[in-house]
Amino acid sequence: MTSALQVFMLPDLGEGLTEAELINWLVAVGDEIRVDQPIAEVETAKSVVEVPSPYAGTVAELHGEPGQTLDVGKPLISVARVGSLAGAGADDAAPAPSPDEEPVVETAAANAYREEEKAGSGNVLIGYGTPGGAGQSRRTRAPRQLSVVEPAEAPDLDLSLLRTRVPGKLGAVISPLVRRMAREHGVDLGDLHGSGDSGLIMRRDVEAAISSPDVDARPVVEASPVAEPSRAVGDTPAGTDSRTGLPISARTPVKGVRKVVAANMTRSRQEIPEATVWVDVDATALVELRAGLKKSDPHNAPGLLAFIARFVTAGLKRFPELNTRIEAAADGAQEIVAFDGINLGFAAQTDRGLTVPSIRNAEKLSARELDAEIRRLTAVVREGKGTPEQLGSGTFTLNNYGVFGVDGSAAIINHPEVAILGVGRIMDKPWVVGGELAVRKVTELTLTFDHRVCDGGTAAGFLRFVADAIENPGSVLAEL
């Protein structure tokens, strides 16, 4: 006899991630749900995504609380099949399976596309088909896996094999969930003495440390020949930094967008031998061109960034080395991958952090069309609704940090791209024009590039092309 519960595992939402933060439940236990109904909002790398259910039925259990980080492949929600709870009492509505019975997990990974076509669903997640409709999804029993549990749940476990301990520093911790809880709440495991067997640190020990931050979580023990020296309570207050002696005002877990940005920037600096070139540009003609268009058509004049984006795509056609990516070939050697097209990313600051949506096939768009896409995608990411395709498919990035009132920046390349162009603020500066000093609208362009894909001549050629286009926009636009 199989279980009436269908367990929906948190899928990979298309970004290759291993975890996501649960933002909000859209359903509650006892609710009747249908196939493709949104059941939860989760925060992925750079967007908030509504997760649809592949099952119809009654919500039996929600596996997680808002704010909790969930691992991909772990249970998200349990759904009882329609009618399976009819006539059942409160105590036997969802009976637990017997010890020798494995839960049945419905999957359709190999037939996802076929099932989607049959069901007509637009919300099928990667790794899941829609089991409804004319198709019949195949059932397979989930393989037995060794779970990491607390010792109270598995008294026969060999603690010497499972616990993690550095003598004199970290207490024994068996559960990665306990380690994560301690890390997210700023609890130093070195200050804890576990209440479990052999000093094992349990979840209750970390919870006690969180609820009583002003009390040293490690009790004073009697001195013995084998005991490590104890520290008197109050030697180092829990709210004081041991290195500086200053009070700690806050601890903020690095997660969500900030965590992804940090990992991506770290990888970029570790892997890419970057170099930077820059040039000051007289943008007076471009500013005047845009002002003239705005005067004649106040509502449809492209912004300055759209014009620069148009010049960038034209420059990348002439210097395609900067619109590539480096990958490892099958034999382990590196190879440069070129693209037939340009997906132009642009940095957009949002309340949730820095995002880089990309305009697909940007080389085919006019300045006016680029302006419309920049405005549309900016609104999308600021609402937290950017898709993985929009946020992870760029081939070159344009960064307008001038909006923050700065002149220049040696930006970090958005891995795995090979170059990023930065635009500083446009300001009045003295400039020599025709041998005479004049006040002009000047900006600084900064190009950071991967020295593996090209040398300085190529980078300088591209930068100079964009600079010349800004200084003489009319002639360049006429040729595009």
pLDDT tens profile 58-117: 999 999 998 888 888 899 999 998 755 444 443 444 444 444 444 444 444 334 433 433
Q: Which fold would CATH assign to domain 5-141?
A: OB fold (Dihydrolipoamide Acetyltransferase, E2P) (2.40.50)
Residue 176, helix vs strand vs coil: helix
Q: Which residue has the higher pLDDT, 213 or 294?
A: 294
pLDDT reading at 194 higher than 70: yes
pLDDT, mean of residues 219-239:
45
Structure tokens at 466: 């964009």
* Distance (Å, whole) CA 388 – CA 12: 11
Task: Judge contact between 164 and 198, C-beta under 8 A.
Answer: no
- Give the DSSP letter of residue 418: S
Q: What is the CATH number of domain 257-479?
A: 3.30.559.10
Can you tell me the distance from the alpha carbon of 8 to that of 339, in angstroms, rounded to the nearest whole number?
Answer: 38
pLDDT in tens, 197-217: 556 777 777 777 777 654 343
User: Which segments of the chain belong to CATH 3.30.559.10?
Assistant: 257-479
What's residue 344's pLDDT? 98
Average pLDDT over every residue of 393-420 = 93
Across 52-60, average pLDDT: 91
What is the DSSP secondary structure assignment for residue 74, as one 8-state letter? S
Location of each CATH 2.40.50.100 domain in the chain: 5-141
Contact at 8 Å (CB) between 446 and 411? yes
Give this prediction's pTM. 0.57
pLDDT of residue 322: 98
Nearest to 281 by CA among 441, 448, 460, 457: 441
> Is 451 a catalytic site residue?
yes
User: How far apart (Å, rounded) are the C-alpha atoms in residues 58 and 80?
Assistant: 5
Distant-in-sequence, close-in-space partners of 111: CB < 8 Å, separation ≥ 6: 129, 135, 137, 138
Residue 249 pLDDT > 80: yes
Strands 419-423 and 396-399: parallel
pLDDT of residue 167: 34
